[in-house]
Amino acid sequence: MGTMTTTNQADEIDARLLLALTQAPRATTIALAEQAKLSRNTVQARLAKLEESGALQSFERCIDPAVLGYPLQAYILTNVTQRKLAQVAAALDAVPEVLEVLGLSGVADLLIHVVARDAEDLYRVAGDILGIKGVKRTNTALVMRRMSDYRTRQLVQKLL
């Protein structure tokens, strides 16, 4: 589980490298160096620093769950017993249909991104989550349409 902040802030050199990565995530170190107009050694050192700090997250490719037979996506707002939060998180890790879990402040404790094969399967997944010891209440919202993909390029560009 990751935290929401890193201790190091990117500078302009990091921004050039990160922008090159957003444009070509599979690029070699040499290609990134050319794109960012940096030396290969600088790129290697900066990438290592960014990875160590947690600034670069998982290299796992984003796979559309629909291609795996899970066309429905939903977000489940969840209220939990606070002292059981770690146990609830561990139980959620064991549910394959759970894609992501975020801890929240406000009206709910957790925001759980799930996928399902159909409405009946979503009912089962939501029921499985509600059945986890420590989960008090859930509220499920079905994703009807993706309006915008996760993106950071605009933020990186602001550093340049």
pLDDT in tens, 2-47: 554 445 688 999 999 999 998 888 899 999 999 999 999 999 999 9
Of the candidates 98, 115, 107, 99, the residue with the CA atom closest to the CA atom of residue 80: 107
Report pLDDT for 2: 53
Angstrom distances, CA of residue 94 to CA of 15, 89, 97: 36, 9, 9
Report pLDDT for 9: 86
Q: Which residue has the higher pLDDT, 59 or 49?
A: 49
The Cα–Cα gap between 60 and 42 comes to 24
Burial pattern 13-43, b for ≥16 Cβ within 10 A else e, equals: ebbbbbbbbeeeeebeeeebbebbebeeeeb
Answering whether pTM is above 0.85, one says no
The Cα–Cα gap between 160 and 150 comes to 20
Choose the most confident range, by mean pLDDT, from 8-12, 90-94, 149-153. 90-94
